[in-house]
Amino acid sequence: MTSGRLLIIDDEPPIAAALERIGKGCGFDVSTTTTAEDFKESFTSARPSVIILDLAVPQVDGIELLRWLGNAGCTATVLIITGFGGKIPESAKLLGEARGLKMGGIIAKPFRVADIRAMLMELTHAS
C-alpha cells in the first residue's frame, strides 16, 4: 500500500533522484520530472497527492507553475524546494495559497534528508 502519489519537478537530476529515493522510502509512488512540459503531463495523468516543486526550472519558473496548478484545480499538497533565500520562497507560498493551493512547507537547498522525510511522513499521517 502506498502513501499516495508524489510528483517531483527539479531540473537537477541528482536532487530529483535523491528526492525520489526519499519519497519511495516514505511509501509514495513517485514520478520525477525535470521540465515544465513533462511536469504538466505527469500531473494530468498521475493526479498526485503531494508535489515537490523547484522554484527555478529552465524555461518556466516555479511561480508560473504555481499559477498553472491553481488554474488546473490542483488538490495536492505543494512543497516548495529552492536555493533562493530571503522572501522569495515565502512569497511563492503566499501566491500558491492565493491561487487556492494547499501549500505545505518550504525546503531549502541544500536540504537534510531527515527534514524531507519528516515532512512527507507528516503528510502521510495527515491523510
Residue 1 has pLDDT above 60, yes or no: no
pLDDT at res. 124:
81
Residue 5 CB neighbours (<10 A): 19
Q: Specify whether the CB–CB gap between 73 and 91 falls below 8 A.
A: no
Sign of CA dihedral 15, 21, 27, 28: positive
pLDDT at res. 2:
64
**Mean pLDDT of the chain, nearest integer:** 92
Q: What is the percent of the chain where pLDDT is above 90?
A: 78
- Domains by residue range for the chain, with CATH: 4-122 (3.40.50.2300)
34-67 pLDDT, tens digit per residue, is 999 999 999 999 899 999 999 988 788 889 999 9
pLDDT at res. 127:
54
Q: Which residue has the higher pLDDT, 3 or 75?
A: 75
Q: Which residues are CB-contacts of 118 (< 8 A; sequence separation ≥ 6)?
A: none
Average pLDDT of the residues in 75-94 = 92
113-123: b (≥16 Cβ within 10 Å) or e: eeebeebbeeb
24-38: b (≥16 Cβ within 10 Å) or e: eebebebbbbbebee
This prediction has a pTM of 0.94
15-33 pLDDT, tens digit per residue, is 999 999 999 999 999 999 9
